[in-house]
Amino acid sequence: MSTSILKRATCSVPTKTYSLWGIGALQRMPCLISNPVRQRSMHTTENTSARPMNPAPRENPAHELKLPRDTNVGRKRFSDFDLAGKVFVVTGGAQVYCLDRADHPDEGWQQAQERVAPEWGGSLHYRKQDVGDAEGLDKLIASIADENQGIDGVIAAAGVQHISPTVEYEAQEVAHMLSINYTGVFMTAKSAAKQMIKYKKRGSICLIASISGLKANRGLISPVYNSSKAAVIQLARNLAMEWSPIKKDGTGGIRVNCISPGHILTPMVKENFDEVPGLREEWENEIMMGRLAETQEFKGAALFLLSNASSYMTGNNLVIDGGHSSW
């Protein structure tokens, strides 16, 4: 069963968003080299016959992210965070299509729907979709893109947890967790990027990782979960390298970043507390702020990464953990 840390996230700006709860193209980068230079040996490496150059202006998406000249920024609050007129596939949001394995949405979805303000132009929808069904996922995201002439962003947040000593893991348990925590996120990003490339959208992809991908969780034996989140962080770097440059055919310009939350009071974490007595107190003592996070405390970070406010940010991992990793 997958869990989304952004389950109750809402957006306070007019936007068109599709949400994939529990789910979470590929083109080569252009070769950025100039004229050959004199060869020379460098220790044991191969000889170098070319030197890297800065991207050509066409390959720099920054100028395309600027607001129109007639936009009166002085009379518009937080214009860089404005998502008006864009289409997003997220795990919780404003105008949203929520996709999950369950036949019906849960209470959190209903609460998010109640917070949608008609005057902002938002709406909330629900679709049944399993992250493990890569073909179905791809078709559904494609249908969303075709309906709206593209997708502007996605948040891939699939994740399950299993607490067990390493020597007790069975191969199928490892494969199941990785199929959701890593492959599900991978395929979500891939399907979204395919549509961004098809419609030549300068999109933003946000992968939900965890501080568990950066360190071992004291008191919690979860080697597969932690390593799967480390893989997600590395995946973001590689996708950013591949998709961020703008190609000559106008595709690309897709930013990819991670959010690595600290310990959050999600249903999955609460189950961990039931399984490991004293774990909550131990975690709270290790956090500078002395408490665990609530899911709604990550809405702003998601909005930042999806909007023009982060237009020069790609391949990064945004750690939000209450100071846990700063000791």
Phi/psi of residue 67, each to 5°? -70, 150
Which of the residues 2, 210, 228, 260 is marked catalytic? Answer: 210
Count the neighbouring beta carbons within 10 Å of the beta carbon of residue 267. Answer: 11
> Annotated catalytic, 19?
no
Instruction: Please name which of 238, 248, 236, 257 lies closest in space to residue 311, comparing C-alpha atoms.
Output: 257
Residue among 83, 162, 90 nearest 124 (CA): 90
> Cα–Cα distance between 249 and 182 in angstroms, integer?
30
Catalytic residue among 229, 260, 307, 310: 229
3-state secondary structure of 218: coil
290: left (phi over 0), alpha (psi -120 to 50) or beta: left
Helices and strands, number each (H, E), in the chain: 8, 8
Name the one residue in this structure whose structure tokens are 């949203």. Answer: 96
225 an active-site residue?
yes
Residue 64 tokens read as 């395309």
Catalytic residue among 191, 225, 307, 310: 225
Contact (Cβ atoms closer than 8 angstroms) between residue 327 and residue 35: no
| SS3 annotation, 11-69 | CCCCCEEEECCCCCCCCCCCCCECCCCCCCCECCECCCCCCECCCCHHHCHHHHHCCCC
Tokens of 211: 């501080």
Q: Which residues are catalytic?
A: 210, 225, 229
